[in-house]
Chain A
């Protein structure tokens, strides 16, 4: 596909359930980012991959959040034992390279997670 895709688009979970959110970046993009967007707010950084290496996970709010990109392409964000405060839209973005004049992140449509 031409853009970043994410699945599922919508996810409803009961409190305490584990969820897994998938991101397919643009083919050939080295860098991949996850953001969390609460209702009425701007996206907030969660974590960053360069190829398969997770170089920055400073934004992950707790050890219930885990992300991986084992082959340097598709990435999965996993949230264990979901809480109501995890309800948000989770955005994935990719860029060809990070930094410099070509540093433009392309965003997927997001996964809206609702925890009941």
Chain B
């Protein structure tokens, strides 16, 4: 089985722009979660989608949004980028048959905001 894939792997944007990141989960997985990783704040939960519905949301401003498509692929969008949005954005997928199911992480998208 192919693992979780994220595109693009690297991205450079300037302040004020918006960005869309993409995540393709493992085949058959219907839950997709997003995390932000920064040196200062560590790994923080952004949101989780299941069957095209947002099930959980972390403590991030409304500039961060996401969606999930019928094929379980997910996108996250950040509008009006700020320097502090520079981070590694990780996507994880799970079959979601129970809350203890392992989440499989992708390699991440490294976003740099100049």
| A-B interaction | no
